[in-house]
Amino acid sequence: MILNKTYYQTLRDKFQNVQTLSIDSLDNSVDLSVKMILEHYRKNEFLHINFQNAKESILLVAQQLFIEFANDIYLNHIDFPKLIVGKTILRDERKYADGKRKDYLLRSVAGNKYILFDKKNSVEIKKSYDELLKNFTPIEQGVQQKTITNYTKYFEELNGGKQREFTPTSFEMKSVFISKKPLWDSLGIKNKIPSTYFPNPREESHLTETRSIPALSDCMIYFTPKYEVCYQQLLQKREKIKTIVIFDTEADKLNQIMQDQLKYKFNVIVLSNSNAPTKSELIPCWNWFNEELEIIDAL
């Protein structure tokens, strides 16, 4: 292999204008890989990036993509919340003199008015749908206000202080990471990003889903160790999926995934860590050699 430093500098320059979220300082090779993926992601194009014996690098790429893809959902795929009479709890986000937040049950709908009931204080109020969107947040009962604030503040800071007109709690599209549980466990920031882990019922004792923000019933990103679970729990139930990331697992399912892609129209990103990666002829593959990574990181 002939390695040319100028070639790799030119490659970095090619992707230098790809916008990313500045979270932490990343190695040049990780930063470049993230930018290559985002370039394809934003064009809804497939891409497979393989590392060779570089577990830390592939993990850092996946962690950054988690933030990037979630922020895309936050900016571009918010849905109106689903309000269910007799079940939906709405928190009044307006500030009062006592500093306390009030939670209301959606009791009924009369014409264009939503009837809310505060059981604690036996108070009933009427609001329009627009008022609900701007001043109330659908939550699970008993949640602390700090949980919601941490979520909204995190995305406001990611986007230069930009605020939404209402707190996003429902999303029309999601992305999915097919990955073993250690990736989910490594995501310390997930308590600020609505995400859900579906276990593999054949291998894990904990059979129910885990939500990173239990206060919210919906999420931006799903995680599951098996594509079969993704297919049964999401695709077959008509959940709209924007991108599926295959993270160093389920390589033998690539052909099946690409067949399903024709029907469900999701994008596919593959990250692998192998000396001999399994490839799909439908997905362009960029295969990093360790010697290349060393040159790029030294630039």
pLDDT at 207: 79
Where are the extended beta strands (E) located within 64-206? 78-79, 89-92, 102-110, 113-118, 123-127, 136-139, 170-171, 174-178, 195-197
Q: Where do the domains of the chain lie?
A: 7-79+169-298, 89-144
Per-residue model confidence as pLDDT tens digits over 6-59: 999 999 999 999 999 975 688 999 999 999 999 999 999 999 999 998 999 999
CATH assignment of 7-79+169-298?
3.40.50
Cα–Cα distance measured from residue 23 to residue 28, given in angstroms and rounded to the nearest whole number: 14
pLDDT at 2: 59
Q: Which DSSP string corresponds to 42-88? A: TTT--EEEEESS-HHHHHHHHHHHHHHHHHHHHHH-EEPPP--TTT-
Distances (CA, A) of 265 to 32, 82, 93, 261: 27, 25, 38, 5
DSSP symbol at 3: -
What pTM was computed for the model?
A: 0.92
**pLDDT tens per residue, the chain (299 residues)?**
557 899 999 999 999 999 999 756 889 999 999 999 999 999 999 999 999 989 999 999 999 999 999 999 999 999 998 899 998 999 998 877 777 788 999 999 999 999 999 988 889 999 999 999 999 999 886 678 888 899 999 999 999 999 888 899 999 999 999 999 999 999 999 999 999 999 988 887 777 899 999 989 899 999 999 999 999 999 999 999 999 999 999 999 999 999 999 999 999 999 999 999 999 999 999 999 999 999 999 99
| Contact of 117 with 166, CB cutoff 8 Å | no
Closest by Cα among 57, 50, 100 to 294: 57
DSSP symbol at 190: G
Q: Which DSSP string corresponds to 138-151? A: EE-TT--HHHHHHH
pLDDT at 58: 97
Residue 280 phi/psi, 5-degree rounding, is -110, 135
pLDDT at 1: 57
Per-residue model confidence as pLDDT tens digits over 188-215: 999 999 999 999 888 877 778 999 999 8
| Contact of 148 with 139, CB cutoff 8 Å | yes
